[in-house]
Amino acid sequence: MMQQSKRILKPVLNGLWNLPARGATSTTAAAPAKIEKTVNTVTILGRVGADPQLRGSQEHPVVTFSVATHTNYKYENGDWAQRTDWHRVVVFKPNLRDTVLEYLKKGQRTMVQGKITYGEITDQQGNQKTSTSIIADDVLFFRDSN
């Protein structure tokens, strides 16, 4: 059975290595020997920290908002604690950007699917800070049942 699985999986895995990378650009004339498939996906479910804001320029608008997620854990003495993590979400897709800006509100429950990106932001004093953002591919809105 194991030998049969290897015969089936080997062509599948080899096929993944030969798939072209999405949005890939090359600076050399020769094609690389192997193109490796990678995955960068993230899904978070939490509450919106503040109303989304329109930023960027007229030519390159972007909507940003934050989402809080939390983890509950228990100490050895039996006490419970909660840790909150804040996630910066950016939306570039035009229709999604407009919908998020119009309908998503502070405190609303939301699920964001997208990819993580790392970069630097220069603040008003000229200091560079590292940033981690989720570039949203999809944002789901939930109504509270209260």
- Residue 27: predicted pLDDT: 55
**Tens digits of per-residue pLDDT, 117-133?**
999 888 889 999 999 99
What is the span of the domain harbouring residue 118? 42-141
In a domain, 18, yes or no: no
Q: How many residues does the chain have?
A: 146
Residue 121, classified by CB atoms within 10 Å of its CB into exposed (0-12), middle (13-18) or buried (19+), is exposed
- Residue 25: predicted pLDDT: 52
In a domain, 102, yes or no: yes
Considering its fold, how many domains does the chain have in total?
1
Which residues contact residue 47 at a Cβ distance below 8 angstroms, ignoring those fewer than 6 apart?
A: 67, 68, 107, 108, 109, 110
Distances (CA, A) of 80 to 74, 76, 83: 4, 9, 10
In a domain, 30, yes or no: no
- Residue 28: predicted pLDDT: 56
**Tens digits of per-residue pLDDT, 70-112?**
999 999 999 999 999 999 999 999 999 999 999 999 999 999 9
**Tens digits of per-residue pLDDT, 1-31?**
444 444 444 444 444 444 454 455 545 567 7
**Tens digits of per-residue pLDDT, 51-73?**
999 998 999 999 999 999 999 99
CA proximity to 106, closest of 142, 52, 53: 52
The stretches of the chain forming alpha helices (DSSP H) are 2-17, 94-103
Range with lowest mean pLDDT among 45-49, 114-118, 125-129: 125-129
pTM here is 0.71
In a domain, 119, yes or no: yes
pLDDT at 46 over 90: yes
CATH code for position 83: 2.40.50.140
Residue 68, classified by CB atoms within 10 Å of its CB into exposed (0-12), middle (13-18) or buried (19+), is middle
In a domain, 19, yes or no: no
